[in-house]
Structure 1
Amino acid sequence: MGALLKSLGWLGWCSVLAWTASAGAAEWRGLLDVRAVEAVAARSWTEAGLGKIRYDNTSNRLGVGQAVVRGDADLTDTLSASAVLSADAQHHGVVDVREAWLEWSPLPVNAWKLRMKAGFFFAPSSVEIDYAGIAWTPERTISSSAINSWLGEELRTNGAEMQLTHLGRHSGASYDYGLTLGTFFGNDPAGTLLAWRGWTISDRIAGRHEAVWLADLPVYRADGAIPRQDRRIRPFREIDGRPGYYIGGNFKQGERVELAVQRYDNRADPLVVKDGQYGWRTRFSHASLVFRPGGGWEWLAQAMHGDTLMGKNAVALDFRAWYVLASHPVGPGRLALRYDRFSTSEHDILPSDPNNEKGRSLALAYTWPLNDGVTLAMELLAVDSQRAARSMVSLRPGQVERSVTSSLRWHF
């Protein structure tokens, strides 16, 4: 079974990449996001710091937030292939694979609709992200919530997923409901960033071959308590050969209400280490809500609670995060306000490695479609956080970080 799942994942994304390089019949779309940023913040996590936002005092004020190209092709009437390649000014490399998958979606013969995917892709776990668009990016803001910032960095399905949806129109009902089941390899290090760096508020999406540098904390130095841990985290490595899974349910009533729940477990062996990467047994429960009461109002909420473990209780912590977002049309565009809360709470055997943190953030954004292909977005972001580990690298545990970001997005 394990060999089959690995083959599905590798076959899916490798087949799509091969097709991407040669197919002329594909539909190609792209996104170029140019940023102007002013930030007052500590050294960013993108530069091996313990800051919470993507940009800091030394960041370039003008740059490319992201450049994405997506190709889609219908291989048969029911089988399609998609690939998403991305690059940005902070990418460690030039171009990387964000997603690549095969999808089988036969026509329903009754009220039940089946869809299956195989490859490397995001699980359906966010309501602020544009899944149908070119890239896995937030629609109403520039930054993502803490929950979706983490999902974009450390989690990806490298395997197979099945979605089964009951279509209400076949029985005269005004609602649909469904079940999602996924199984994957390659998320064994998931939880490392939450433990040793903490939550972030960002829209930086990791590619398949990404390597993220951790801050220079004493615990994983050569003379530290965990010297076998590399400072470079490779989020999508397979370490122990055990598949993980997620299972979820959803309910949708037209465009008015959307509800979803999900349980995730990577089933990693926390005692296995390979090439400087430990297995982290990471599990969480997740719930989301979208409510559109009318009058142009839109309310979004997500909540997550989970735990992660590495070694014989060497690092163990619970993590929590939630946010609420409200948006409404104002003038020619849409105004959005998002409030986040996040925390980690440790309960391990290494008091010399403090991983507790708590924080909150507020984002105010305005998106303005200039024409069919160009959108201007502006965001004010403030993050207030407390993290004891900062004192170990001569920083104040409490930090308040702010940024003002303008984004010109060109869809082509």
Structure 2
Amino acid sequence: MSKMLGLMMGLLSTGCAMAVELDWHGLVDIRLGSADTIDSYIDGGMGKFGQSDGQQVSLSQLGAELALNWDSGVSGRLVGNAYLDEEESGIGLTEAYLKYRSLPDASGYRWQSKAGIFYPSISLENNAFAWASKNTLNASTLSTWLGEEIRVLGAEFTLMRLGKMHHSKHDFSLSGAVFGNNDPAGAMLAWHGWTMSSRQTLWTERRPLPDFEASRPGNMLSHQAKNSDPFLELDDRLGFHVKARWKYRGKGEFSSGYYTNNGQPYIVKKGQYAWRTRFYHVGGKWRLAKGLELSGQYLNGDTLMQNPDKVDMVNNDYASGYLALTKKWRQHQLTLRGEEFSVADKDNTPGDNNTEYGKAMTVNYRYQYAKNWFFSGEFNWIDSDRPARSYIGQAAKLTERQLQFSARYFF
């Protein structure tokens, strides 16, 4: 897989010496936030938000995309992100890939392929530059997890049937991806549960794990590294993702897919385990009336981590889903989102209870001040029951709230 990335970067360098169109896009997101919570999961705590208790001003996201386009149908994307707040600061790469899109043939079919570092095509929310969300400041718990742990180095192939060439409004596509470098995915979900923020893990970034009894010296999970590195290749096995999508132009779309990293869960290197993480996902959005859209997504899966003797250490089922209603009128937009999430712990490891159940609500108001300027206010509420919080002296049942104000500039 590292050879694939090297080849891709070499092709980008070669293309820059040829006739190529370059274009920059991105965003700057400055926020004022106030949270009634505990220490954030970003700091290795068990708070559900990207912000710890209190008030702060932050550079929530500085994202930039460099797009390179050749006449041959080949294009490239380099995507970087940076952030600065009281929890952490960082800057780095989040995506880098080459893409080829063919011209439609006489039957209305088109091929598309891409190779490099990319998000599997799952999230319906994160559809702005640098994988930002247009309608809310915090992504759903479902998309927050994707941004934290689900990123791959691989190749994706898509076959599209274009309805306009058949005098139809119906477009269909089927895609398949093969990949590596996502073996530890599942560790963060198991040990801090579902969370809600806009933070994306940078490609080489490690995420701190919360303190829990089983990870302390002498206990069953004491060999686990204190920080998880979700984008490692540990077992030299390829994972895959498949997705089918139907789009009805002018009305909406529906999709479903299956993801597995195909990890060998008993492989461990330098404290990083290869988790077997897999899930199904379904989602869609539909225009109910002028300026009114309903969207929703659901993800359900399992993750397994074993010791080198193939004894289950962490064995969890998990699920998360949301429904959102967005109303636009003139320069205004209002979004309401409700969520439900859970983790079911099926192993018997002492001091490692990953069971969780919760609900969440988000209310977002956005005002478009100018072509590129957007001002937003957002309220988030999460009510969850997570027994593992008792390991750090916190209540298992906890209600957390966050209020944010944001100025975002898209360029």
Residue 374 (1) aligns with residue 370 (2): no
| TM-score of the two chains, using structure 1 as the length reference | 0.94
The verdict on how the C-alpha distance between 1:340 and 1:15 changes in structure 2, with shifts beyond 3 A counting, is farther
Distance in 2 separating the partners of 1:390 and 1:313: 22
Q: Does structure 2 conserve the Cα–Cα contact (< 8 Å) formed by 1:290 and 1:299? A: yes
How many correspondences in the alignment?
Answer: 405
Gaps of 5+ in 1: none
**2:79 aligned with 1:80, yes or no?**
no
The one of 122, 132, 136 equivalent to 1:137 is 132
What do you get for the CA RMSD once the two structures are aligned?
2.0
Contact residue 20 and residue 70 of structure 2 kept, 8 A: no
Aligned partner of 2:105 in structure 1 is 109
Q: Do the aligned residues in 1 keep the contact of 2:214 with 2:349 (CA within 8 Å)? A: no
Q: Pairwise mapping of residues 50-199 of structure 1 onto structure 2 (< 5 A)?
A: 50-58=46-54, 61-90=56-85, 94-110=90-106, 111-130=108-127, 133-199=128-194
Q: By how many angstroms is 1:11 displaced?
A: 2.9
Match of 2:395 in 1: 396
SS of alignment partner, residue 84 of structure 2: coil
C-alpha distance in 2 between matches for 1:322 and 1:388: 21
User: Using a 3 Å threshold, how does the CA distance of structure 1 residues 57 and 23 change in structure 2: closer, same or farther?
Assistant: farther
Counterpart contact for 2:343–2:354, Cα < 8 Å: yes
233-242 or 213-222, which moves further after superposition?
213-222
Name the CA shift for 1:19/1:202 in 2 (closer, same or farther; >3 Å): farther
- Take 2:289 and 2:179, find their aligned partners in 1: how far apart are those partners? 39
TM-score if structure 2 supplies the norm length?
0.94
Residues 197-236 of structure 1: matches in 2 within 5 Å? 197-236=192-231
Cα displacement string for residues 24-50 of structure 1 (whole angstroms, at most 9, x for unaligned residues): 952112211000111111110011100
Q: Distance in 1 between matches of 2:131 and 2:253?
A: 19
Partners of 2:389 and 2:257 in 1: CA distance:
33
SS in 2 for 1:196: helix
Contact 1:12–1:120 (CA under 8 A) maintained in structure 2: no
Say whether the 8 Å CA contact 1:128–1:300 is kept in structure 2.
no
Q: Deviation string for 1:293-348 (max 9, x for gaps)?
A: 22321000100110000002110010011100001125631100000100000111
Deviations 1:104-160 (A, max 9, x none): 112112311111000001111111221xx3211111111101110000100112110
Q: 1:375 to 1:14 in 2, by over 3 A?
A: farther
Distance 1:246 1:24 in 2: 31
Query: What is the rounded CA distance, in whole Å, between the counterparts of 2:19 and 2:167 in structure 1?
Result: 42
Check 1:13–1:294 CA distance in 2 against 1; reply closer, same or farther (3 A cut): farther
Q: Is the 8 A contact 1:13 1:120 kept in 2?
A: no
CA distance in 1, matches of 2:246, 2:169: 11
Conserved? CA contact 2:144–2:196, under 8 Å: yes
In structure 2, the residue corresponding to 1:51 is in which secondary structure? coil
* Cross-structure match for 2:357: 358
Query: Alpha carbons of 1:253 and 1:161: their partners in 2 closer, same or farther (altered >3 Å)?
Result: same
Structure 1 residue aligned with 2:255: 260
Taking structure 1 as reference, are residues 367 and 297 closer, same or farther at Cα in structure 2, changes over 3 Å only? same
Q: Deviations over 1:198-241 (max 9, x none)?
A: 00011111110111001121212222211221010111011111
Matched residue, 1:296: 291
- How far 1:352 sits from its partner (Å)? 2.5
Distance 1:17 1:217 in 2: 46
Q: Give me the identity figure in percent.
A: 30
Quickly say closer, same or farther: Cα 1:361–1:176, change in 2 above 3 A. Answer: same
Cα pair distance change 1:43/1:77, threshold 3 Å:
same
CA deviation after TM superposition for structure 1 residue 369, in Å: 1.0
Write the letter of the residue equivalent to 1:204: R
The more displaced of 40-49 and 83-92 is: 83-92
**Structure 1 segments of 4+ aligned residues over 6 angstroms from their partners:** 17-24
Consecutive unaligned residues in structure 2, runs of 5 or more: none
